[in-house]
Amino acid sequence: MGTQDGGHRHAAIAAIAEREYETAGDEYTRAGRRVLADPRPGVDPFEADEKGWTGIGLGYLAVAGICYRVCNRSKRATRRSVEGIAIARDLGDTMGHPIQQACFSEFVADFRAIAGMDDVSTAYESAEADYEAAGDSIDQPQKWAMTPVFEAAIAPIQQVARSLSNGEIAVEWETLHGSDPSRPGAFLSARPAYKRQRFPSMLERLFDSGFLAAPRGTTAYGTDHHQCPNCGSTDVNWVGDNTLCLRCSRPSDPQ
């Protein structure tokens, strides 16, 4: 099982499909708060957790802020980012491993970027330094990078990137990480370094476009069983409880 979001993530994705971005922001907010309060059975959100399940809630708050910015509700996006920064800093203080603390620093920078706050570059540089400092404490950075909290911290930029790339995967996992896992600090500090260089401009392009794609789930190309009534594509994205067009994220109709 994943996290206990009360079905709000599915509702958020359905709202994205209908271009109801403020509703999507509300649903992602509810999903985030549910996960932050009670991630999974037996997981205390205030105790060290090697998987970092609580971090998924922060990822949902980040996407909530993006949804609000897309529909020009910038004040709500800023409030969500302020909330996310406060939670990320608090979780960074309670997590048991320095490498997870660095990941929460990465989240802080993401929230600043999403809200268009000052000192975004400085925040990402701080996260880079935190990863470098924590690198000596681990010997398998790939393992850490595939835990829920680390994946949650790259989900927003990947969703933004596919929104600008006709639904395709535009930011690969390999792109976000260093090339040499024998240097754990450098391997993981590549994440905030990449975001520092690319995420703010990607967000501006997204907000100018007024379109946010759904996250990518299970996909199929050139199907003979679904076609999008909006753009005509037969490429399908199954995500949440929704069958969506891979290209425009509208609901795809069975044929």
Instruction: Output 46 or 121, whichever has higher pLDDT.
Output: 121
pLDDT at position 243 is 97
Burial of 235-255, coded b for 16+ CB within 10 Å and e otherwise, reads bbbbbbebbbbbbbbbebeee
Q: What is the pLDDT of residues 76-93, one digit of tens each?
A: 999 999 999 999 999 999
Rounded CA separation 146/51 (Å): 9
DSSP state of 215: P
Q: How far is CA 230 from CA 180, 234, 247, 251, in A?
A: 44, 11, 10, 8
Tokens encoding 101: 């603390």
- Average pLDDT of the chain is 96
Classify residue 166 as left (phi > 0), alpha (psi -120 to 50) or beta.
left
pLDDT at position 94 is 87
Q: What residues pair up with 236 in beta bridges, in sequence order?
A: 220, 245
- Please tell me the least confidently modeled range out of 41-55, 116-130, 157-171, 206-220: 41-55
Does residue 65 sit in helix, strand or coil?
A: helix
Rounded CA separation 188/36 (Å): 24
Question: Is a pLDDT exceeding 90 seen at residue 99?
Answer: yes
Burial of 38-68, coded b for 16+ CB within 10 Å and e otherwise, reads bbbeebebeeebeebbbbbbbbbbbbbbbbb
Q: What is the pLDDT of residues 8-24, one digit of tens each?
A: 999 999 999 999 999 99
Confidence bin at 227 (pLDDT 50/70/90): very high
Q: Tell me which amino acid residue 199 is.
A: F
Quickly count: other Cβ atoms within 10 Å of residue 227's Cβ: 18
Q: Tell me which amino acid residue 202 is.
A: M
What average pLDDT does range 174-180 have in this prediction? 96
Q: What is the pLDDT of residues 232-249, one digit of tens each?
A: 999 999 998 999 999 999
